[in-house]
Amino acid sequence: MPNAQPLPLIVIVGPTASGKSSLAMEIASQYNGEIICSDSRTIYKGMDIGTAKPSREDRAKVPHWGLDIVEPGEQFSAADFQSYAKKKVEEIRSRGNIPLMVGGTGLYIDGVVYDYNFGQARPELREALSSLSDDDLKNYCVNNNIELPENDKNRRYVIRAIEQNGINSKRLSALIPNTLVVGIATNPEELKARIEARAEQLFANGVVQEAILLGEKYGWDSEAMTGNIYKLARKYLDGEFDEAELLQKFVTSDWRLAKKQRTWFKRNPDIHWGTPAELHAYLDNILSA
């Protein structure tokens, strides 16, 4: 049928450790879906444990995209992700499967579902901004009413936010057609407990050893190594604190990230919120109709 409605794009958002991946696996397994991971950490090759990438078992059960796209240190912007994700959505639909975009990186998600016009890079401005200190960059954002990115510790992200000021103004315009966005509502105490449990699992899985290998291969000053756990692992290896303190600092860092993510998504009126069980039932009603 040439005029048939294309399969919907299902988008699952929420803070880190909220259970997005588990819900996505359930829906994808039930309705022949393929998952597009929308996370500015999991795009990097080799960063598997510290970014909590989907397990090999999950990837064997359900196709996953958006993983291992670039080497640490390579440039990959929200505009690059938009182009990548649009292509994957069409490819997944062409196979007769349902695309599910899943993640916590708000600009990655919004850039796709609101079809942002990211504009062109501005190399002269970028060069001028590169000479500013981290504090000067943040003050520039505050003074010019520019929203800081989720990872405001990453200079490249802050500079990109300044470059894009005034271009990405479509944040709350209409969703692209045939798109459904759901968000996992989280109890703060429960979310904190999930973050703590995941942190312990990452350490048990060898995240410090992974950090050492990545630091040796790509250099500790690579942009990708400024992510939460890798930056902390370097300080631990330099003797700034012990393993117990490292674990606690990682939990605190991820908790701060989760709060920023919740703030970003909570402003969006197009998101249907619920617990994982409620959202599963909600999606069942739509996809089984």
Residue 1: per-residue pLDDT: 39
Q: In this structure, which amino acid lies at residue 283? A: L
Residue 169: per-residue pLDDT: 45
Query: In 3-state terms, what secondary structure has residue 288?
Result: coil
Residue 150: per-residue pLDDT: 67
Question: Burial code of 193-216, b = ≥16 C-beta within 10 A, e = fewer?
Answer: ebbbebbeebbeeebbebbbebbe
Query: In 3-state terms, what secondary structure has residue 13?
Result: strand
> Tens-digit pLDDT profile for the chain (289 aa)?
345 678 999 999 999 999 999 999 999 999 999 999 999 999 999 999 999 999 999 999 999 999 999 999 888 888 899 999 999 999 999 999 999 999 999 989 999 999 988 766 666 677 777 777 888 788 778 777 777 876 677 787 788 778 776 555 445 468 999 999 999 998 999 999 999 999 999 999 999 999 999 999 999 988 788 777 999 999 999 999 999 999 999 999 999 999 999 999 998 999 999 999 999 999 999 998 7
Residue 12: per-residue pLDDT: 98
Q: Is the dihedral of CA 224, 228, 234, 238 positive or negative?
A: positive
Q: What class, spelled out in words, does domain 189-257 have in CATH?
A: mainly alpha
Residue 120: per-residue pLDDT: 63
Spell out the domain ranges in the chain.
120-163, 189-257
Residue 4: per-residue pLDDT: 62
- How far is the CA of 229 from the CAs of 2, 56, 73, 137, 169, in angstroms? 49, 21, 16, 23, 32
Residue 124: per-residue pLDDT: 67
